[in-house]
A and B are shown apart, each in its own frame.
Chain A
Amino acid sequence: MQEIYLGIDVGSVSTNIIAIDDKNKVVHSQYIRTNGQPLDSVKNGLKELKKNLPQDMKVRGVGTTGSGRQLIGVMVGADVVKNEITAHATATSQLVPNVKTIFEIGGQDSKIIIIEDQMVVDFAMNTVCAAGTGSFLDHQAERLGVPIEKFGDLALTAERDVRIAGRCTVFAESDMIAKQQFGFSKAEIIKGLCEALVRNYINNLGRGKKLEPPFVFQGGVAANKGIKAAFEKEINEEVIIPKHYNIMGALGSAILAKEHLEANGNPTSFRGFEAADLDFVPSTFECGDCSNKCEVIKVELNKEVVAMWGDRCGKWVGSL
């Protein structure tokens, strides 16, 4: 019988569900687009996962992370619900034990995490500015008519350097058009864009931080060779891309669940793969009891309220 731990990372763009064994080895992983339906995407992911795992395995624990961690935590019966920063750092120090600096760029946000002796000592997170995230690249790839998968390889073929103003998406776009008219090739423009994104990222998130090697680059954007090259040029050091670069959040939360249960010896609160068939109904309502008019989120299972949050005063959270 194989014992496994599940990790679920629910972001606004994508959901990752993975299973690890008791040696923290990834047994299987599942990628689903969230499409604004975190519950459905996790349900589908769980079903797929079950099909792909040996029949005699047993789930010993489950952890959730990402912006939907609370909701999904309730649904699956998570043992550990953790923020993305801790989850990512946990996974990285597992795969690259001596890591000092983590660059993480996902579709909707980006982070930098500074590690000393396998401990987080500093971090920063960008959630407002799109110019430092994957969606910036997606958008520009579309404009240039280059599939995003080819983006990075193309950047590597550039012969000349071109500097594109990347302070903000809007500026980058108009500057890009101007540079195209100057006769720079697509490859050169793309390289310029990658460098703009990296400059932006370092300026925004790295400010006031000691950036020391070894550097690890992870998150969906790490697949992009152009960005990796731009990082290496900017900091003049090698940048490591870990094997599971795009599922680090899920991996970290699975490891955290495992460590948590090993430490306290409790059984898991996992609801089982049948959770995928349970009828969870999330809904929101506006509380009108004071002028804050909070948007309160409510999750029901069989007409019974199982979780609530989003209120500022705690009257709903506390009502369970």
Chain B
Amino acid sequence: MKVSFPYMGTTVVYKKLLELLGHEVIVPPKPSQRTINLGVKYSPEFACFPLKVIMGSYIEAIEKGAEVIITSGGHGPCRAGFYEKVHSKILQAENHDVEFIVFDSMFRNFKGFFRNIYRIKQNNSWYKVSQSLLFVYNMIKKLDILEKEVETIRAYEIRKGETTRAWEKIQDLFDKASTKKELEGAFNKGTQLLREIKQEKVHDSNKIRIGIVGEIYVVMEASINMKIEEILGSLGAEVERSQYLSQWINYNVTPKFINRTHEMEILKKGEKYIPIPIGGHAKQTVGHIVDFNERGFDGVIHLMPFACLPELVSQSIIPKITEELGIPVLTLAIDEQAGTANSLTRIEAFLDLIQGKKSKKIS
């Protein structure tokens, strides 16, 4: 069977896992204007933006021949809880014949989780499955390490665009690796590629570090967030996201009672501002703002998908956090017409504000 998955962030890793298990993998095209248009056309008007983009992405995957879509189940109370239901209903109505395999956290639904594993396991031995999982997990960790470096180096590169090109090459290298040794090789080659990038020397006190927080999909998927990391990098700011795949996995595969992951800490830091779970990543958003502040970041950019209720709540709390902690936060709404020119004006002004705060002067 031809399997596909929602496009988000460094897709090589999902592809790799499924390939190792012997599936024919259809990688959906990177979300483009066409994807968004398709998604908007077939989704309910008032659905949140990620739901629409993912809808478009599924349609494009089906066009390329996908028969099965593997996705992770979100949970309520926000719309993430019924993503798969809405998507499969719409696809059915449009006469697309696809099957969904939805992975819920194995602690929420143990039986369902293993039933799903069985289905994608095919004839592989359990040994092979666990080896593949381990391999991909290592790959994710290594990619995340390199990506974090990319996000720093980009701010100081002398030849514009060099870091981004290197990062694309690195993902290609990882895509070609299937053994432990090859993975090691890809990592070393990647490290070297990044080391070769010529950087401007900037005094530590003049460095600007920006955290990016918000709903996971718009934070992770560059093609729909105006490539916010690249924009910030080109304006000379280092960035760090609130979400990385490896953290997400650590958090989601660790049972609650021994869960000491970074994410647990983050949730605790946000507790004061949003005490109850309201869905999505609102609690993480406020927690990460507190965390970025504690770690000495200069500012935070908050990405809020259009029609996302949880992030609307966090947006309304942000002024209070800024008032208490002093860290500047810029909220950008992300939707199908996110006017890049206007957003750029805001981002530039925001960086000026931060620079001004550092040097005690407007520009």
Q: Chain A 73-110 against B: per-residue CB contact (8 Å), 1 yes, 0 no?
A: 00000000011111001100100000000000000000
Closest beta carbon of chain B to A55's beta carbon, Å = 32
Interface residue? B361 (CB, 8 A): yes
Q: How far is the CA of A206 from the CA of B344 in the complex (A)?
A: 21
Contact B164 A314 (CB under 8 A): yes
Q: Chain B 135-165 against A: per-residue CB contact (8 Å), 1 yes, 0 no?
A: 0000000000000000000000000110010
Q: Which residue of B lies closest to A293 (CB)?
A: B33
Interface residue? B346 (CB, 8 A): yes
Closest beta carbon of chain A to B280's beta carbon, Å = 20
Contact A259 B227 (CB under 8 A): no
Other-chain contact of A90, B160, B345, B353, B363 (Cβ < 8 Å): B363
Q: Chain B 327-363 against A: per-residue CB contact (8 Å), 1 yes, 0 no?
A: 0100000000001011011101100110011001111
Q: Which residue of A lies closest to B319 (CB)?
A: A208
Q: How far is the CA of A282 from the CA of B346 in the complex (A)?
A: 25
Q: How far is the CA of A209 from the CA of B318 in the complex (A)?
A: 11
Given contacts A259-B363, A290-B32, contact A121 B352 (CB under 8 A): no
Q: Which residue of B lies closest to A312 (CB)?
A: B227
Contact-size category for A = 20 to 34
Interface residue? B76 (CB, 8 A): no
Given contacts A83-B349, A86-B352, A125-B345, contact A291 B363 (CB under 8 A): no
Q: In the assembled complex, which residues on chain A have CB atoms less than 8 Å from the CB atom of B164?
A: 314
Q: In the assembled complex, which residues on chain A have CB atoms less than 8 Å from the CB atom of B179?
A: none
Contact B32 A120 (CB under 8 A): no
Contact A120 B352 (CB under 8 A): yes
Q: Is the interface of B mostly helix, strand, loop or mixed?
A: helix
Q: Chain B 17-56 against A: per-residue CB contact (8 Å), 1 yes, 0 no?
A: 0000000000001101111000000000000000000000
Q: Which residue of A lies closest to B350 (CB)?
A: A123
Other-chain contact of A291, B32, B318, B339, B352 (Cβ < 8 Å): B32
Q: In the assembled complex, which residues on chain B have CB atoms less than 8 Å from the CB atom of A119?
A: 353, 356-357, 360-362
Contact A90 B32 (CB under 8 A): no
Other-chain contact of B160, A67, A125, A208, A318 (Cβ < 8 Å): A318
**How many residues of B are in contact with the other chain, CB < 8 A?**
34
Interface residue? B230 (CB, 8 A): yes
Q: How far is the CA of A64 from the CA of B35 in the complex (A)?
A: 36
Q: In the assembled complex, which residues on chain A have CB atoms less than 8 Å from the CB atom of B353?
A: 119-123
Closest beta carbon of chain B to A212's beta carbon, Å = 13
Q: B33, B318, B362: which has the most chain A beta carbons within 10 Å?
A: B362
Given contacts A120-B356, A312-B227, contact A125 B346 (CB under 8 A): yes
Other-chain contact of A83, B223, B318, B352, B361 (Cβ < 8 Å): B352
Q: How far is the CA of A90 from the CA of B32 in the complex (A)?
A: 38
Interface residue? B205 (CB, 8 A): no
Contact B33 A120 (CB under 8 A): no
Interface residue? A244 (CB, 8 A): no
Interface residue? B192 (CB, 8 A): no
Q: How far is the CA of A317 from the CA of B34 in the complex (A)?
A: 22
Contact A117 B230 (CB under 8 A): no
Closest beta carbon of chain B to A147's beta carbon, Å = 31
Contact B34 A117 (CB under 8 A): no
Interface residues of A in 50-83 (CB under 8 A from B): 67, 82-83
Q: In the assembled complex, which residues on chain B have CB atoms less than 8 Å from the CB atom of A33?
A: none
Jot down 7 A-B pairs with beta carbons below 8 A, ordered by A: A93-B362, A118-B361, A291-B34, A291-B35, A292-B32, A292-B33, A317-B161
Closest 7 CB pairs of A and B: A85-B349, A208-B319, A291-B32, A83-B348, A291-B34, A318-B161, A86-B352
Interface residues of A, Cβ cutoff 8 Å to B = 67, 82-86, 89-90, 93, 117-123, 125, 127, 208-210, 256, 259-260, 290-293, 312, 314, 317-318
